[in-house]
Structure 1
């Protein structure tokens, strides 16, 4: 099922008007199921004591440990009973308006292809392991499920304000690469971390990155890197606070304010930041 690219500008033949496609679960090869199992086994061993309690609860509640690439219909049935969300297959990266419409209606779009065995450690485009193993367990948490729905609705409004750059950073630093404080310790919940063997360790253990207390405007001003480890991680106190800020903030005047402010470069620390750990940036220096 793997293809060279899954970045599209129009629905391919056979896709519905909302870009959804059949998952085609019966077409997965034994090798593809084995790739999922290999990825799953090493992450499942690494995540206890590192991943948030909400993520680990979702992993168990959705029975993702049963082996092989999950069937989206069965997965959606379990997820729907918990939070009303469902997982729908799409042929690749979809346009913003499609993405936000699905999210606002509690449909999580997931790629159906899986990386090749020689791509276990890095794949630029999200595959079914990133999308399902990384994202879907958090959708079993009622508060985080509400946050993603609110984000989807906010995305629809952001398009009217030409503000997707700033809102996209909120997604990046929470849904993809977020940290949370639990019982005094830092835990990971962002899908880009929990689905990555290397970044699961880097995000919590390495001295290089900054770990900064979550502030909405600060996050939305901060640039990020898409092809390497993050040098800033933002830490939410709990998911209730993340949801509260998202729902209660009037984003229209915030966007207007952000348009007048400069972006904050990757790895920069501001005097007003609540710095939990100040990074050495040693990793970034080694890469330059």
Structure 2
């Protein structure tokens, strides 16, 4: 069973105390200062109210250095491995690479481009809420940074993933349209099975999708675009044709590099296949696709 909650450390609140429960093997698990920072940043999101600007997080020098290192190294890899639409979105958005932008600043840059804006999230956002709000041009984002001991690695989505990965995509009209369609799809379906199916198609496209451009495999998925290690492994993955029926039932393990990736033959095909699925999908379609996937070959 697909479990989105695996991606995020659980967050609990008892009175005024907010606690992020890091796994024992998390790089920051035995760092009391980091744990305190995570709790403080999670509390900002939990205290936020819709309709108000995203809260301001005060970042430490160590966190600023993590941002600079990750941005510099990812920038080099993007020149070689990112798809053209992502690179165009990056040029439009012009995220700072020498300091961490606040979500309110990202919104100021992003909203005039495609209408999208960020709102804060302490951790896991329920699937129907996270995807559904994409239809309104709203993206839920964490505000914490990965641990400074491993600036090029994170076991969970952090601000680098949310803003460098997704933000540069959301700055491009073609990407923004796909995200909105995904949100509309999530609102259209009623069953948990259909919502899970949509989330997997999103995962294998807008999170971990690759596309062939000028004879080379490049990525358009934010999960790959924000991962220093995994983006360099796409040439070793098993590349399959874009097929939403297979994407919606493909299993994966978030603790390892994805061994199977679905490759589009150009951005037009992403829109024609994934975009059309998000446009047309309903509960009956998912039932049909699940039936076909379970039928003996």
TM-score range, shorter chain: 0.7 to 0.9
CA contact (8 A) 1:221 1:258 kept: no
The 2-side partners of 1:33 and 1:253 are apart by: 48
Find out whether 1:23 has 2:71 as its counterpart.
Answer: no
Shift of 1:17: 5.6
> Structure 1 residue 9: deviation in Å?
7.3
How far is 1:98 from its partner?
A: 2.0
CA distance in 2, matches of 1:15, 1:150: 27
State how many pairs are aligned. 257
Q: Is the aligned partner of 1:237 residue 2:265?
A: yes
What residue is the counterpart of 2:145 in the other structure?
114
Q: Does the C-alpha gap of structure 1 residues 168 and 243 become closer, same or farther in structure 2, counting only changes over 3 Å?
A: same
Contact 1:50 1:200 in 2 (8 A): yes
Structure 1 unaligned regions, length at least 5: 265-270, 272-288
Structure 1 pair 250/43, CA: closer, same or farther in 2 (3 Å)?
Answer: closer
Determine the structure 1 residue equivalent to 2:175.
144
* CA deviations over 1:100-147 (Å, ceiling 9, x no partner): 232110011110011111233432221101111111101111111101
Structure 1 residues 161 and 117 mapped into 2: Cα distance closer, same or farther (>3 Å)?
Answer: closer
Cα 1:62–1:17, aligned 2, differ >3 Å: closer, same or farther?
closer
Task: Indicate the residue corresponding to 2:10 in structure 1.
Answer: 7
Q: Which position in structure 2 is the counterpart of 1:283?
A: none
Instruction: For residue 50 of structure 1, report the CA deviation from its aligned partner.
Output: 1.0
RMSD of equivalent CA atoms:
2.6
Change (3 A) 1:84 1:23: same
User: Deviation digits for residues 1-23 of structure 1, max 9, x if unmatched?
Assistant: xxxx75347896513268x8833
Please give the secondary structure, in 1, of the residue aligned with 2:212. strand
Report whether the alignment pairs 1:218 with 2:221.
no
Given that residues 8 and 94 in structure 1 are in contact (C-alpha distance below 8 angstroms), is that contact kept between their aligned partners in structure 2?
no
Normalising to structure 2: TM-score of the pair?
0.78
Per the normalisation by structure 1, the TM-score is 0.80
> Corresponding residue for 1:228?
256
